[in-house]
A and B are shown apart, each in its own frame.
Chain A
Amino acid sequence: MTGEKRIKVLLAKPGLDGHDAGAKILALALRDEGMEVIYTGIRQTPEAIAQIALQEAVDVVGLSCLSGSHNTLFPKVVRLLQELGVGDTLVIGGGIIPEEDIPYLQERGVKAIFGPGTSFTSITNFIRQTVNPSN
């Protein structure tokens, strides 16, 4: 009998924001939690992110943005994932995102936003509870 398949997470930074200390920390934390993590590096187009998500067959796409362009770019990634036929990928976000923008993003398919001060466990618990690792 094979072991449980690891949850696969793509962490990505859409747009031009170059502040990725948080994304790097989260990548290391999720790996320590036993997940498989790909971090794209900064300055990715939504198109590129969706393509990598498809090619790597990830369970989760985590988007990080601190530059204020989240309302434009996060929903775009969700839409592109749907167009590529992987719309059931869990999309979550983090960075500097005003609380009042969270409902807007959730309505457009970003399931949760984890802002400054979020604990690692709240992210990993949310991922585990939401995702069924694909067979």
Chain B
Amino acid sequence: MADEGHMEGEKTFSTVSGIPIKVTYTPDDLSNWKHQRELGSPGEYPFTRGITPTMYRDNLWQMNQYAGFATPEETNEWFKYVISQGAKALTMALDLPSQCGYDSDYPLAEGEVGKQGVALDSLADLETILDGIQLTNMRFSCLANAIGPSYLGMLLALLEKKGIPPQEVLMSMQNDILKEFGFRGTYIFPPRPSVKVTCDVVEYCARHKFNNARVLCCCAYHMAEAGATPVQQLAFTLANATAYIEELIQRGLNVDDFALNMDTFQGTGMELFEEVAKIRALRRMWAKMMKERFQAKDPRSISLIVRAYTQGSYFTAQQPLNNIVRGTIETLAAVLGGMQLLTTSSYDEALALPSPESVTIALRTQQIIGYESGVTNTVDPMGGSYYLESLTDELEERATALYEQVQSMGGAIAAVESGFYEHEVAKSAYEMAKRKDSGDKVVIGVNQYVMDEPRKIQIRRIDPATEQRQIEKVKKLRQERNNKEVEVALARVKEAAREGVNLVPPMMEAAKVYATLGEMSSVLREVYGEHKAIKI
């Protein structure tokens, strides 16, 4: 009987997903494995090895910086700084009030303005943020989810003012509302109308042929950070994608009309081999789902673009410089997995907003792996490893079973409404937390090799006057604009919501007359209601 690596009285070895790990892996583990079927060639179905034939040999992945805090003016300066340091893609983080559709002077916004990202109260703020930035050269992503149509409306209004055709802009939005419930929390409306609002953005871009836009990013990262295992990440993300695709097909679109606007956002954790296997399994599962479930024909629909972020939840507040090493391992996992865009967490993630120094080290981590390690010189260098291929297959099998379970309960929307996702992930998170707490799962600097250390790293602070300045700015805006026009525009948004038509065009008109984000969201709240978190 083959040794499974688990004997009475000895340690058990298993991955984060709970897959047992053997002493060693041999060709016998791949006896039913067929290279052409399981892997295919790079750039060909089922895309396990990568979505292009030559991957990083042509160009390395896009090295991303996550930025946007305090005021629009400071964000604009920060963007110009990271561009000068070599960044080719920007992600704009919005502050929590903006993400939740509240203006800076809303009561619940107190203490939150400009902290998690930049305050975006109206088109005026977006104009300041992007002043002097060449949008046609950059992939510009925004962490807009619940506010999808409002944000797109603002961006389109800005582009129109600047005379830039939207088709030429590499715009991205996260716009994945289903993962907000229970894992990230910036929802506004209940799940069902939220999906409608999300799909309005995708439908608009598809019908207007914004082929460069990525406006539906099915995210696994946040649930991973909340404690979801790789198996759960795969199953729930694909189930969420399924829900959106089904809604859009119901609107009369062909899957190939909009799937090119979709991508995914993955976290990479510390369990190196399982993380690489996860990304490969994800590409293969996506390809099979698009081809078999949705009859997609376009290769752009069937191959999945992967954006990645190293999982800062593994980073420690203790001995923070150790996190540079963790970031290196997690970055390596993403590179060996074959992603297209990567942000590496800064070493001070467990402590505060990133400092310029920590962000630069994060970028250098990617550059050093990309230019100095040689792993990019061949496609999918770990392919064919007995262990890796066994893991990839096992992850796909377990994730498919969980995906089917979600479908049988009515799909992702039902899984969110019932709290199924939340409870499953909380269970996994608690199991891992107990293992760390008991020391069974070693965390260097926290439960082993603990040191008494004063923390001397520089912490970035948001100027407390920021909130007051932003509040005054939005109050002034409301006085100086044409409020009659705003009233009319907002009434049109409400009407569109009542009639169930696409929200983007009326949102664009509202943005142009400087309706605030809070006002745009409020009229929708009146129609759809607000979601209330489930208590445990």
Contact = CB atoms under 8 A, between A and B. Distances in A.
Interface residues of A, number: 36
Contacts, number: 111
A36 interface: no
B110 to A, nearest CB: 6
A19 B115 CA distance: 14
Contact of A69 (B115, B184, B313, B352): B115
A39 B186 contact: no
Contacts of A45: 107-108
Interface string A24-58: 11011100000000111111010000000000000
Interface string A43-79: 1010000000000000000000001111111000000
Interface stretch (A85-93, A94-102, A104-112): A94-102
A3 interface: no
Interface in B424-474: 426, 429-430, 433-434, 437, 443, 445-447, 455, 459, 462
A116 B157 CA distance: 42
B535 A21 contact: no
B430 A28 contact: yes
A18 interface: yes
B111 A19 contact: no
Contacts of A38: 535
A100 B457 CA distance: 12
Nearest to B97: A16
Contacts of B318: 117
Given A24-B429, A38-B535, A42-B533, A73 B225 contact: no
Contact of B351 (A18, A43, A69, A96): A96
B100 A16 contact: yes
Main secondary structure of the interface of A (DSSP, over half): loop
Contact of B536 (A18, A27, A116, A120): A27
A7 to B, nearest CB: 18
Contact of A120 (B225, B437, B534): B437
A72 B185 contact: no
B353 interface: yes
Nearest to A65: B111
Given A41-B534, A68-B353, A99 B455 contact: yes
Interface string B89-121: 000000011011010000111111001100000
B186 A18 contact: yes
A115 interface: yes
B227 interface: yes
Contact of B185 (A19, A71, A121): A19
Contacts of A20: 185
B226 interface: yes
A119 B435 CA distance: 11
A17 B186 CA distance: 8
Interface in B146-191: 180, 184-186
A65 to B, nearest CB: 9
B108 to A, nearest CB: 6
Contacts of B266: none
Nearest to B182: A20
A51 to B, nearest CB: 15
A52 B453 CA distance: 39
Contacts of B382: none
B236 to A, nearest CB: 15
Given A17-B96, A116-B316, A69 B112 contact: yes
B289 interface: no
Contacts of A72: 110-111
Contacts of B130: none
A66 B418 CA distance: 26
Nearest to B227: A21
Contacts of A71: 111
Contact of B112 (A15, A40, A96, A116): A15
B115 A68 contact: yes
Contact of A98 (B227, B351, B429): B351
Given A29-B430, A117-B318, A119-B437, A68 B107 contact: no
Select the residue from A70, A116, A119 with max chain B CB neighbours within 10 A. Answer: A116
B317 interface: yes
23 contacts: A15-B111, A18-B184, A19-B185, A19-B225, A19-B226, A21-B225, A21-B426, A24-B430, A29-B434, A39-B536, A40-B535, A42-B185, A43-B533, A67-B96, A69-B111, A69-B115, A71-B111, A73-B110, A73-B111, A96-B351, A96-B352, A98-B459, A116-B317
Interface of A: 15-21, 24-25, 27-29, 38-43, 45, 67-73, 96, 98-100, 115-117, 119-121
Given A16-B100, A43-B108, A73-B110, 8 more contacts: A16-B108, A16-B112, A17-B116, A21-B313, A25-B429, A29-B437, A115-B317, A119-B447
Q: Which 9 A-B pairs have the closest CB atoms?
A: A18-B185, A72-B111, A69-B111, A41-B533, A16-B96, A68-B115, A117-B446, A21-B226, A116-B317
